[in-house]
């Protein structure tokens, strides 16, 4: 065969010259690639859906458990408060009896001492409770939400890209509005973060 009669292109000779193992690893055509892509997308979506369902079931079970535990906790705390208060009263009565009969104190002095002890315990517990109650204001979260432009203090906080910290801005706002507190839309004072 002469060179003039050879009508095959170089690509045709290349495919015929390759061994069979190289032909198997050649890339699939576009329709096969789209089928594989579609199948993997469906599989991924199904897996994500299964994860979401499992997470939803887990959260629902967690809330049911928490709801049940919360009710039982309240009931048992009520029992603990009742027995704690009655034991405190009995302890104070025993102290009064010991002071009057053992030490010869008058009833008035014994009752006054136990009342002072109870008042001090009440004041310390109330002070500690108010101190811990400050944590319920979620100050750090409110500052960050305000910095992102959400909440009643958003107008007073620096922008997200500002170098000023949200805590410093909150202190600046608290100092500036100490005499005239910031009001919400209905005229209610805004609690500073």
159-174 pLDDT, tens digit per residue, is 667 777 767 777 776 7
Token output for 46: 């199904």
Q: What is d(CA 134, CA 191) in angstroms, rounded to the nearest whole number?
A: 11
**183 bridge partner residues:** 189
Averaging pLDDT over each range in 48-62, 68-82, 179-193, which range is the top one? 68-82
Q: What is the largest CA-CA distance in the chain?
A: 138
72-127 pLDDT, tens digit per residue, is 999 999 999 999 999 999 999 999 999 999 999 999 999 999 999 999 999 999 99
Residue written as tokens 């919360």? 70
Token output for 130: 């108010």
The b/e string for 8-37 (b: 16+ C-beta within 10 A; e otherwise) is: eeeeeeeeeeeeeeeeeeeeeeeeeeeeee
Mean pLDDT of the chain: 78
> Taking a C-beta distance cutoff of 8 angstroms, is the pair 169, 158 a contact?
yes
Tell me, what's the pLDDT at 65? Answer: 86
Q: Which position has the higher pLDDT, 192 or 45? A: 45
What's the pTM value of the predicted model, to 2 decimals? Answer: 0.46
Half-sphere exposure of 53 (CA within 13 A, CB side): 6
């Amino acid at each position: 065969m002469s060179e003039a009669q050879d009508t095959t292109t170089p690509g045709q000779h290349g495919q015929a010259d390759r061994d069979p193992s190289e032909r198997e690893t050649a890339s699939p055509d576009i329709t096969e690639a789209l089928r594989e892509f579609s199948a993997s997308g469906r599989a991924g979506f199904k897996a994500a859906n299964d994860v979401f369902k499992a997470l939803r079931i887990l959260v629902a079970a967690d809330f049911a458990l928490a709801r049940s535990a919360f009710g039982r906790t309240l009931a048992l705390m009520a029992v603990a408060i009742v027995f704690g208060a009655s034991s405190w009263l009995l302890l104070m009565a025993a102290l009064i009896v010991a002071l009057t009969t053992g030490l010869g104190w008058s009833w008035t002095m014994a009752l006054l001492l136990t009342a002072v002890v109870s008042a001090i315990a009440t004041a310390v517990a109330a002070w500690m409770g108010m101190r811990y109650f400050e944590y319920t204001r979620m100050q750090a979260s409110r500052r960050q939400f305000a910095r992102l432009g959400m909440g009643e203090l958003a107008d007073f906080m620096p922008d997200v890209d500002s170098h000023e910290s949200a805590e410093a801005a909150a202190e600046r706002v608290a100092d500036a509005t100490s005499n005239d507190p910031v009001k919400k839309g209905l005229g209610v004072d805004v609690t500073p973060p």
